[in-house]
Amino acid sequence: MSLRPWAIGLVLAALAVIVQAETRQFEMTIEEVDLEVAPGFKTKVWAFNGQVPGPLFHVQEGDDVEVVVQNNTTLNHTVHWHGQYQMNTWHSDGVPDVTQKAIEPGDSYTYKFKAIKVGSLWYHCHVNVPEHVGIRGMWGPFIVAPKNPSDLEKRVTIDAVAMFSGWNPEVADTYGEGGHPNEPISYFSINGKSFPMTQPLRVKKGDVLRLRLMAATIPVAFHPHGHDALVTHKDGLPLEHPYAVDVLNMAPGERYDVIIEMDNPGRWIAHDHYEHHVSNNGKTPGGAVLIIEYDSIESDDWYVWKDKKIEPDFYMSESMKKPYGLHNIAPFKGSEPAGQRRRR
Ligand SMILES: [Cu+2]
Protein backbone atom coordinates (compact mmCIF):
# COMPACT_ATOMS: atom_id res chain seq x y z
CA MET A 1 0.00 0.00 0.00
CA SER A 2 1.38 3.42 -0.88
CA LEU A 3 0.57 6.64 1.08
CA ARG A 4 -1.13 9.45 -0.78
CA PRO A 5 0.57 12.87 -0.69
CA TRP A 6 -2.08 14.33 1.70
CA ALA A 7 -1.56 11.43 4.09
CA ILE A 8 2.20 11.98 4.05
CA GLY A 9 1.51 15.64 4.83
CA LEU A 10 -0.64 14.65 7.78
CA VAL A 11 2.06 12.34 9.16
CA LEU A 12 4.69 15.08 8.78
CA ALA A 13 2.43 17.61 10.54
CA ALA A 14 1.85 15.17 13.43
CA LEU A 15 5.60 14.56 13.70
CA ALA A 16 6.21 18.33 13.78
CA VAL A 17 3.85 18.65 16.75
CA ILE A 18 5.61 15.82 18.58
CA VAL A 19 9.14 17.15 18.05
CA GLN A 20 8.11 20.73 18.88
CA ALA A 21 8.56 20.01 22.58
CA GLU A 22 12.17 20.80 23.28
CA THR A 23 14.51 19.78 26.02
CA ARG A 24 15.91 22.91 27.59
CA GLN A 25 18.97 22.54 29.78
CA PHE A 26 19.94 25.27 32.18
CA GLU A 27 22.50 25.84 34.91
CA MET A 28 21.86 28.05 37.89
CA THR A 29 24.01 28.84 40.91
CA ILE A 30 23.16 30.15 44.36
CA GLU A 31 25.48 32.92 45.55
CA GLU A 32 25.99 35.00 48.67
CA VAL A 33 25.81 38.66 47.65
CA ASP A 34 24.70 42.01 49.01
CA LEU A 35 21.64 43.56 47.41
CA GLU A 36 21.10 47.30 47.30
CA VAL A 37 17.36 47.64 47.82
CA ALA A 38 16.94 51.36 48.55
CA PRO A 39 19.29 54.34 48.82
CA GLY A 40 21.41 53.63 51.88
CA PHE A 41 19.98 50.16 52.49
CA LYS A 42 21.72 46.93 51.54
CA THR A 43 20.85 43.44 52.71
CA LYS A 44 22.56 40.07 52.53
CA VAL A 45 20.80 37.65 50.21
CA TRP A 46 21.20 34.18 48.76
CA ALA A 47 20.78 34.97 45.11
CA PHE A 48 20.06 32.70 42.15
CA ASN A 49 22.81 33.47 39.62
CA GLY A 50 23.78 36.31 41.94
CA GLN A 51 20.63 38.33 41.29
CA VAL A 52 17.29 39.20 42.89
CA PRO A 53 14.82 38.38 41.44
CA GLY A 54 16.50 35.24 40.15
CA PRO A 55 16.92 34.82 36.38
CA LEU A 56 13.85 34.72 34.15
CA PHE A 57 12.97 31.25 32.89
CA HIS A 58 10.89 31.49 29.72
CA VAL A 59 9.91 28.22 28.05
CA GLN A 60 7.08 26.88 25.96
CA GLU A 61 4.23 24.60 27.01
CA GLY A 62 5.33 20.97 26.80
CA ASP A 63 9.07 21.65 26.97
CA ASP A 64 11.23 19.28 29.01
CA VAL A 65 13.20 21.37 31.47
CA GLU A 66 16.44 20.37 33.15
CA VAL A 67 18.10 22.70 35.64
CA VAL A 68 21.40 21.92 37.38
CA VAL A 69 21.47 24.00 40.57
CA GLN A 70 24.89 24.56 42.13
CA ASN A 71 24.98 25.74 45.76
CA ASN A 72 27.92 28.13 46.24
CA THR A 73 26.81 29.27 49.71
CA THR A 74 27.53 27.96 53.19
CA LEU A 75 23.97 26.82 54.01
CA ASN A 76 21.56 24.25 52.50
CA HIS A 77 19.00 25.20 49.86
CA THR A 78 16.59 23.67 47.34
CA VAL A 79 14.47 25.01 44.48
CA HIS A 80 10.72 24.54 44.49
CA TRP A 81 9.17 25.18 41.07
CA HIS A 82 5.96 26.79 42.25
CA GLY A 83 2.99 25.81 40.09
CA GLN A 84 4.67 23.03 38.12
CA TYR A 85 2.61 19.84 38.30
CA GLN A 86 5.71 17.58 38.34
CA MET A 87 3.83 14.70 36.66
CA ASN A 88 5.97 11.60 37.36
CA THR A 89 8.82 13.86 38.52
CA TRP A 90 7.93 14.54 42.16
CA HIS A 91 11.60 14.24 43.10
CA SER A 92 11.99 17.62 41.39
CA ASP A 93 9.47 19.44 43.63
CA GLY A 94 12.26 20.86 45.78
CA VAL A 95 11.00 20.22 49.32
CA PRO A 96 13.86 19.23 51.65
CA ASP A 97 13.46 15.92 53.50
CA VAL A 98 10.24 15.22 51.57
CA THR A 99 11.19 15.08 47.88
CA GLN A 100 14.99 15.34 48.14
CA LYS A 101 17.85 15.92 50.53
CA ALA A 102 18.65 19.62 50.60
CA ILE A 103 21.56 20.71 48.39
CA GLU A 104 24.53 21.06 50.71
CA PRO A 105 27.23 23.73 50.32
CA GLY A 106 29.36 22.94 47.27
CA ASP A 107 26.90 20.34 45.94
CA SER A 108 24.48 20.43 43.03
CA TYR A 109 21.12 18.85 42.20
CA THR A 110 19.46 18.35 38.84
CA TYR A 111 15.77 19.14 38.53
CA LYS A 112 13.90 17.61 35.58
CA PHE A 113 10.27 18.19 34.72
CA LYS A 114 7.88 18.84 31.86
CA ALA A 115 6.41 22.35 31.66
CA ILE A 116 2.76 21.31 31.56
CA LYS A 117 1.13 24.18 33.40
CA VAL A 118 1.08 27.36 31.34
CA GLY A 119 1.39 30.98 32.44
CA SER A 120 3.01 33.09 35.17
CA LEU A 121 4.72 30.64 37.53
CA TRP A 122 7.69 31.23 39.81
CA TYR A 123 10.33 29.39 41.80
CA HIS A 124 11.79 29.74 45.27
CA CYS A 125 13.92 27.97 47.86
CA HIS A 126 12.06 25.64 50.23
CA VAL A 127 14.59 25.47 53.09
CA ASN A 128 13.75 27.65 56.11
CA VAL A 129 11.26 29.48 53.94
CA PRO A 130 10.52 32.39 56.33
CA GLU A 131 14.13 33.52 56.08
CA HIS A 132 15.38 32.23 52.70
CA VAL A 133 12.29 33.30 50.76
CA GLY A 134 10.82 35.86 53.16
CA ILE A 135 13.81 38.18 53.46
CA ARG A 136 16.79 36.75 51.53
CA GLY A 137 15.65 37.05 47.95
CA MET A 138 15.42 33.38 46.94
CA TRP A 139 12.76 33.69 44.26
CA GLY A 140 12.38 34.37 40.55
CA PRO A 141 9.90 34.19 37.65
CA PHE A 142 9.15 31.14 35.48
CA ILE A 143 6.97 31.92 32.47
CA VAL A 144 5.51 29.12 30.36
CA ALA A 145 4.16 30.37 27.03
CA PRO A 146 1.02 28.64 25.75
CA LYS A 147 1.17 26.87 22.38
CA ASN A 148 -2.15 28.49 21.50
CA PRO A 149 -2.41 31.97 23.05
CA SER A 150 -5.85 33.59 23.26
CA ASP A 151 -6.84 36.43 20.94
CA LEU A 152 -6.44 38.84 23.88
CA GLU A 153 -2.90 37.58 24.62
CA LYS A 154 -1.96 38.03 20.95
CA ARG A 155 -2.78 41.76 21.23
CA VAL A 156 -0.14 42.34 23.93
CA THR A 157 2.67 44.71 22.86
CA ILE A 158 4.56 44.92 26.19
CA ASP A 159 5.00 41.92 28.49
CA ALA A 160 6.25 42.94 31.94
CA VAL A 161 6.96 41.07 35.19
CA ALA A 162 6.71 42.72 38.64
CA MET A 163 7.59 40.72 41.78
CA PHE A 164 6.78 42.24 45.18
CA SER A 165 8.80 41.60 48.33
CA GLY A 166 9.69 43.00 51.76
CA TRP A 167 12.90 43.31 53.77
CA ASN A 168 13.96 43.47 57.41
CA PRO A 169 16.81 45.96 57.97
CA GLU A 170 17.42 44.76 61.54
CA VAL A 171 18.89 41.44 60.35
CA ALA A 172 20.10 42.62 56.94
CA ASP A 173 23.76 42.01 57.84
CA THR A 174 23.32 38.64 59.51
CA TYR A 175 22.57 35.40 57.72
CA GLY A 176 20.67 32.95 59.88
CA GLU A 177 18.52 35.55 61.62
CA GLY A 178 15.06 36.87 60.89
CA GLY A 179 12.11 35.24 59.24
CA HIS A 180 10.07 35.35 62.44
CA PRO A 181 6.36 36.14 62.81
CA ASN A 182 5.72 39.87 63.17
CA GLU A 183 9.30 40.78 62.33
CA PRO A 184 9.73 44.41 61.30
CA ILE A 185 9.45 44.31 57.50
CA SER A 186 10.02 47.97 56.70
CA TYR A 187 11.32 48.07 53.12
CA PHE A 188 9.05 47.05 50.25
CA SER A 189 10.09 46.56 46.69
CA ILE A 190 9.27 45.69 43.11
CA ASN A 191 11.82 43.42 41.43
CA GLY A 192 14.14 43.86 44.41
CA LYS A 193 14.21 47.67 44.45
CA SER A 194 12.34 50.31 46.46
CA PHE A 195 11.35 53.70 45.02
CA PRO A 196 13.22 55.75 43.87
CA MET A 197 15.42 52.81 42.77
CA THR A 198 12.52 51.21 40.90
CA GLN A 199 12.07 52.09 37.23
CA PRO A 200 9.50 53.67 34.94
CA LEU A 201 7.47 51.52 32.62
CA ARG A 202 7.69 53.28 29.28
CA VAL A 203 4.71 52.98 26.93
CA LYS A 204 3.12 54.66 23.95
CA LYS A 205 -0.54 55.33 23.27
CA GLY A 206 -2.11 52.20 21.80
CA ASP A 207 0.19 49.78 23.61
CA VAL A 208 -1.41 46.78 25.29
CA LEU A 209 0.50 46.14 28.50
CA ARG A 210 0.46 42.73 30.09
CA LEU A 211 1.65 42.96 33.68
CA ARG A 212 2.49 39.70 35.38
CA LEU A 213 2.09 40.69 39.03
CA MET A 214 3.61 38.32 41.58
CA ALA A 215 3.21 38.79 45.33
CA ALA A 216 6.41 36.91 46.11
CA THR A 217 6.70 37.57 49.86
CA ILE A 218 4.24 40.29 50.94
CA PRO A 219 0.52 40.98 50.53
CA VAL A 220 -0.06 43.61 47.86
CA ALA A 221 -2.94 45.92 46.87
CA PHE A 222 -1.80 47.03 43.41
CA HIS A 223 -3.31 50.28 42.14
CA PRO A 224 -2.49 51.74 38.70
CA HIS A 225 -3.69 55.34 38.41
CA GLY A 226 -5.65 56.51 35.37
CA HIS A 227 -6.44 53.03 34.03
CA ASP A 228 -8.43 49.94 34.84
CA ALA A 229 -6.64 46.62 34.78
CA LEU A 230 -8.34 43.60 33.23
CA VAL A 231 -7.53 40.53 35.32
CA THR A 232 -7.08 37.68 32.83
CA HIS A 233 -5.13 35.00 34.71
CA LYS A 234 -4.81 33.86 38.34
CA ASP A 235 -1.76 31.75 39.27
CA GLY A 236 -1.18 31.15 35.56
CA LEU A 237 -4.70 29.85 34.95
CA PRO A 238 -6.89 31.74 32.45
CA LEU A 239 -10.10 33.14 33.95
CA GLU A 240 -13.31 32.15 32.22
CA HIS A 241 -14.61 35.66 32.88
CA PRO A 242 -11.86 38.29 33.04
CA TYR A 243 -12.82 41.22 35.28
CA ALA A 244 -11.65 44.83 35.54
CA VAL A 245 -10.25 46.38 38.73
CA ASP A 246 -8.42 49.50 39.83
CA VAL A 247 -7.06 47.88 43.01
CA LEU A 248 -5.94 44.26 42.91
CA ASN A 249 -5.43 42.36 46.14
CA MET A 250 -2.82 39.63 46.20
CA ALA A 251 -1.83 37.32 49.05
CA PRO A 252 1.79 36.09 49.29
CA GLY A 253 2.49 33.51 46.58
CA GLU A 254 -0.36 34.63 44.33
CA ARG A 255 0.19 35.76 40.76
CA TYR A 256 -2.25 37.73 38.64
CA ASP A 257 -1.88 38.66 34.99
CA VAL A 258 -3.57 41.93 34.10
CA ILE A 259 -3.95 43.59 30.72
CA ILE A 260 -3.98 47.39 30.66
CA GLU A 261 -4.93 49.36 27.53
CA MET A 262 -2.56 52.31 27.21
CA ASP A 263 -5.22 54.79 26.17
CA ASN A 264 -4.65 57.73 28.52
CA PRO A 265 -1.36 59.55 27.86
CA GLY A 266 0.24 61.01 30.97
CA ARG A 267 2.61 60.18 33.76
CA TRP A 268 0.90 57.77 36.14
CA ILE A 269 1.95 56.22 39.39
CA ALA A 270 1.17 52.54 39.98
CA HIS A 271 1.70 51.47 43.56
CA ASP A 272 0.97 49.12 46.40
CA HIS A 273 -2.00 50.59 48.32
CA TYR A 274 -0.94 49.19 51.70
CA GLU A 275 0.04 52.62 53.00
CA HIS A 276 3.26 51.64 54.74
CA HIS A 277 4.37 49.74 51.60
CA VAL A 278 5.11 53.09 49.94
CA SER A 279 7.74 54.04 52.50
CA ASN A 280 11.39 53.17 53.09
CA ASN A 281 11.73 52.26 56.75
CA GLY A 282 8.96 54.71 57.63
CA LYS A 283 10.07 57.52 55.32
CA THR A 284 8.08 58.56 52.24
CA PRO A 285 8.23 58.50 49.32
CA GLY A 286 9.56 55.01 48.87
CA GLY A 287 8.60 51.37 48.60
CA ALA A 288 6.70 49.43 45.98
CA VAL A 289 6.08 52.19 43.45
CA LEU A 290 6.54 52.45 39.70
CA ILE A 291 5.56 55.14 37.22
CA ILE A 292 3.98 54.55 33.83
CA GLU A 293 5.48 57.09 31.41
CA TYR A 294 3.85 57.70 28.03
CA ASP A 295 6.47 58.63 25.43
CA SER A 296 4.38 61.59 24.20
CA ILE A 297 4.64 63.38 27.56
CA GLU A 298 7.45 65.90 27.94
CA SER A 299 9.53 65.72 31.08
CA ASP A 300 9.25 68.55 33.60
CA ASP A 301 12.01 70.16 35.63
CA TRP A 302 10.30 69.12 38.85
CA TYR A 303 9.67 65.51 37.81
CA VAL A 304 11.21 63.22 40.43
CA TRP A 305 12.66 60.96 37.71
CA LYS A 306 13.66 63.65 35.19
CA ASP A 307 17.30 62.48 35.31
CA LYS A 308 16.53 58.81 35.83
CA LYS A 309 19.04 56.31 34.44
CA ILE A 310 16.81 53.90 32.56
CA GLU A 311 17.22 50.13 32.83
CA PRO A 312 15.09 48.97 29.89
CA ASP A 313 14.93 45.33 31.07
CA PHE A 314 13.91 46.11 34.68
CA TYR A 315 10.44 44.62 34.10
CA MET A 316 11.98 41.86 31.93
CA SER A 317 10.13 43.16 28.86
CA GLU A 318 13.29 43.00 26.72
CA SER A 319 14.09 39.47 27.85
CA MET A 320 10.50 38.35 27.26
CA LYS A 321 10.99 39.26 23.58
CA LYS A 322 14.11 37.09 23.25
CA PRO A 323 14.03 33.41 22.23
CA TYR A 324 13.01 30.96 24.96
CA GLY A 325 15.67 30.33 27.55
CA LEU A 326 17.11 31.48 30.86
CA HIS A 327 17.73 35.21 30.98
CA ASN A 328 19.96 36.97 33.49
CA ILE A 329 18.89 40.55 34.11
CA ALA A 330 21.78 42.97 34.68
CA PRO A 331 20.09 45.47 37.05
CA PHE A 332 19.12 42.64 39.42
CA LYS A 333 22.75 41.71 40.14
CA GLY A 334 23.97 41.88 43.71
CA SER A 335 27.42 43.07 44.72
CA GLU A 336 30.44 41.48 46.41
CA PRO A 337 29.50 40.76 50.02
CA ALA A 338 31.01 43.05 52.61
CA GLY A 339 31.60 42.25 56.28
CA GLN A 340 30.41 38.66 56.43
CA ARG A 341 28.66 37.80 59.67
CA ARG A 342 27.00 34.43 59.85
CA ARG A 343 25.19 32.77 62.69
CA ARG A 344 24.30 29.09 62.45
CU1 LIG B 1 17.49 28.51 50.74
How far is Cα 203 from Cα 213, in angstroms, rounded to an integer?
Answer: 17
How many angstroms is it from 33 CA to the middle of ligand 1?
13
Using CB atoms within 10 Å of the CB of residue 76, give its burial: 0 to 12 exposed, 13 to 18 middle, 19+ buried.
Answer: middle
How far is Cα 212 from Cα 8, in angstroms, rounded to an integer?
Answer: 42
Closest CA to 167 of 29, 57, 276: 276
How many angstroms is it from 53 CA to the middle of ligand 1?
14
| For ion ligand 1, residues whose CB falls within 5 Å | 77, 125, 127, 132, 138
How far is Cα 78 from Cα 63, in angstroms, rounded to an integer?
Answer: 22
Find out whether 163 and 121 touch, Cβ atoms under 8 Å: no
Find out whether 54 and 333 touch, Cβ atoms under 8 Å: no
Task: Give φ, ψ of 224 to 5 degrees.
Answer: -85, 125
- Domain residue spans of the chain: 22-148, 152-315
Q: Are the folds of 22-148 and 152-315 the same?
A: yes
- Each of the 344 residues of the chain gets a pLDDT tens digit; together they read 455 666 666 665 555 555 567 999 999 999 999 999 999 999 999 999 999 999 999 999 999 999 999 999 999 999 999 999 999 999 999 999 999 999 999 999 999 999 999 999 999 999 999 999 999 999 999 999 999 999 999 999 999 999 999 999 999 999 999 988 888 999 999 999 999 999 999 999 999 999 999 999 999 999 999 999 999 999 999 999 999 999 999 999 999 999 999 999 999 999 999 999 999 999 999 999 999 999 999 999 999 999 999 999 999 999 999 999 999 999 999 999 986 555 44
pTM of the model: 0.92
How far is Cα 31 from Cα 52, in angstroms, rounded to an integer?
Answer: 11
How many angstroms is it from 65 CA to the middle of ligand 1?
21
How many angstroms is it from 46 CA to the middle of ligand 1?
7
In the CATH hierarchy, which top-level class contains the domain 152-315? mainly beta
Closest CA to 87 of 124, 58, 122, 112: 112
Closest CA to 44 of 105, 219, 52: 52
How far is Cα 110 from Cα 94, in angstroms, rounded to an integer?
Answer: 10
How many angstroms is it from 131 CA to the middle of ligand 1?
8
pLDDT for res 20: 66
Closest CA to 153 of 242, 79, 72: 242
How many angstroms is it from 93 CA to the middle of ligand 1?
14
The CATH code belonging to domain 22-148 is: 2.60.40.420
